[in-house]
Amino acid sequence: MTTLATTRRSVLAGIGAASTLPFLPRRARAATPLNLGVLRLTSHAPNYIAYERGYFAEEGFEVELVFFEAAQPMAVAIASGDADFGVTAISGGLVSLAQRGAVKVIGGALAEEPGIPGQVVLASNQAYDSGLTTAAALPGHTFGITTAGSSFHYMLSRVARGEGFDIAQVEMRPLQKVGTIVAALGSGQIDSWAIVPSISNRLLAEGQAKKIADMSQYAPDYQVTTVFTSSAIANDDRARAEAFLRALSRGVNDYNAAFVDKTANAEEQAELAALVGQYVSPDVPAERFLETMTTTSMRINRDLGLSVSSVRDQLDWFKAEGMVPADVTEEMLIDPSFVATF
Partner 1 sequence: MVDLSPARQPREADARPVPFRGGGFAPGRNRWAGLVVFVALIAFFEVGTRTGVISSLTMPPPSAVAQTLWRLVETGLLWQNLGPSLYRLAMGSLVGCGAGILVGFAIGLFTLARAGLVPLVSALFPIPKIALLPLFVIWFGIGEGSKVALIAFGTFTPTVVATFGAVDGVDRGLIRMAQSFGVPWLRIVTRVVLPDALAGILSGLRVSLAIGIVLLVAAEMLGARYGIGAYILEAGALYDLERLFAGVVILSVLGLLVSAGIGALERRLLRWRG
Q: List interacting residues with partner 1 (CB under 8 A).
A: 72, 75-76, 79, 91-93, 96-97, 100, 102, 146-150, 171-176, 180, 183-184, 187, 189-190, 323-324
Tell me which DSSP letter residue 87 carries.
E
The residue among 101 and 131 lying less far from partner 1, judged by its C-beta, is: 101
Considering beta carbons, is residue 94 or 247 the nearer one to partner 1?
94
Minimum CB separation of residue 176 from partner 1 in Å reads 5
- CB nearer to partner 1: pick between 82 and 261: 82
CA quadruple 136, 318, 35, 334: dihedral, nearest 10? 120
Task: Answer for the pair 339, 106: CB distance below 8 angstroms, yes or no.
Answer: yes
Report, in Å, the least distance between residue 146 CB and partner 1.
8
**Distance of alpha carbon 37 from alpha carbon 83, whole angstroms:** 6
* Cβ pair 299, 116 in contact under 8 A: yes
Residue 145 one-letter amino acid: I
Angstrom distance (rounded) from CA 257 to CA 252? 8
CB of 204 to partner 1, least distance (A): 22
Q: Long-range contact list for 179-187, CB < 8 A, 24+ apart?
A: 181/144, 181/145, 181/146, 181/152, 182/208, 184/144, 185/122, 185/124, 185/144, 185/209, 186/124
- Minimum CB separation of residue 183 from partner 1 in Å reads 7
Provide the terminal-to-terminal Cα distance of the chain, rounded to the nearest Å. 39
Q: Burial, 326: exposed, middle or buried (Cβ in 10 Å; 0-12, 13-18, 19+)?
A: exposed
Q: How do beta strands 192-195 and 120-124 pair?
A: antiparallel
- Taking the least distance from each CB to partner 1, the nearer of 176 and 278 is 176
Nearer to partner 1, 149 or 197 (CB): 149
What minimum distance in Å lies between the beta carbon of 5 and partner 1? 25
Cβ neighbourhood burial of 272 (10 Å; 0-12, 13-18, 19+): buried
The nearer residue to partner 1, 103 or 120, going by C-beta atoms, is 103
Q: Which is nearer to partner 1, 54 or 93 (CB)?
A: 93
CB of 185 to partner 1, least distance (A): 11
Closest approach of Cβ 101 to partner 1, in Å? 8
DSSP state, residue 338: S
